[in-house]
Amino acid sequence: MYKILGKVFDKIRFFDQMIRAKSLIKKYSLPKSVEIKYGLLEVTGDFKCEPFCKFLYNINIHANAPVRIGRFSVINGPNTDIYASQNSVIIGSFCSIARNVSIQESNHDINNFTTSLFEKRMPNNKKSKLISKGGIEIGNDVWIGAQCVILSGARIGHGAVIAANSVVTGYIPPYAIVGGTPAKIIKYRFHKEKIDKLLKSEWWAHIDEKNYEEYSNFFNNNSGL
């Protein structure tokens, strides 16, 4: 009996999530190729993503300022949050973002009388209690590991890898592998000559929803590098 009820509830939940996903795609005029699976994508505000983005499990996007995600990027949940309060959050194409990642464009003001946001409830209080060091820019082909925190003003170069449990507060060079709190360079993915060649090629700019199948050899064999 309990097994039967469990299966019924699973089916109800599945169809509910599917209906919500279709409604979200329609509301934000997202490309039909966008996939939302195994959970909910909760979105408020100014959000756009390009074709073939994939959102897995439960993800929250709060876009009081613009949030943009490039094509073929995959955002994994659960508990992955993207907050853009005052400045934009830009995520490039072909990015991979793991579960429990927090991309946080603003934060509490430690120089204020109190770090609590209670004052926002006070009448005639128009001053924001959140501060920001600027927008967040994540390049193309970036991999962000589980439980990372990306803070305001962060600039992550193309091809970089952020190790799990890291905190990024500033600039990360292209193709660097970084880790720690704050994140520091561990090594680079490739030698300088290969990095320069990859950056010059800008391969991520040439692959889109119409021609991606033509690049199968490029991905499988690193041809052209």
Total residues found in the chain within this entry: 225
Q: Is residue 11 part of a domain?
A: no
Residue 222: per-residue pLDDT:
61
For the domain that residue 158 is a member of, what is the CATH number? 2.160.10.10
According to DSSP H, which parts of 69-191 are helical? none
CA distance 47 to 146: 23
Global pTM?
Answer: 0.84
| 119 occurs within a structural domain | no
Closest by CA position to 45, among listed 26, 22, 27, 32: 27
pLDDT value, residue 8: 47
**Residue 58 falls inside a structural domain:** yes
Q: Does residue 64 carry a pLDDT above 90? A: yes
| Cβ-contact 44, 61 below 8 angstroms | yes
Alpha-carbon distances, residue 197 vs 57, 205, 225 (angstroms): 36, 14, 7
Residue 41, domain member (yes or no): yes
Kind and range of the H or E element at 74? Answer: strand 74-76
Contact 92, 73 (CB under 8 A): yes
Active site residue 108: yes
Domain hosting 137: range is 23-108+129-221
Q: Quick one: which H or E segment has residue 45?
A: strand 41-49
170-199 average pLDDT score: 97
Selecting among 108, 158, 191, 206, the annotated active-site residue is 108
Domain count along the chain: 1
159 pLDDT higher than 90: yes
8 Å CB contact between 64 and 43: no
Q: How far apart are CA 33 and CA 73, in angstroms?
A: 12
> Is the N-terminal amide bond of 78 cis, ω within 30° of 0?
yes
Domain presence at residue 117: no
Average pLDDT rounded to a whole number, residues 72-84: 96
Indicate whether 7 belongs to any domain: no
Residue 150 is predicted with a pLDDT of: 99
Exposed, middle or buried by CB within 10 Å (0-12, 13-18, 19+), for 224?
exposed
Is residue 97 situated within a structural domain?
A: yes
| CA of residue 216 relative to chain centroid, distance | 25
pLDDT in tens, 104-153: 999 887 777 677 766 666 566 656 678 889 999 999 999 999 999 999 99
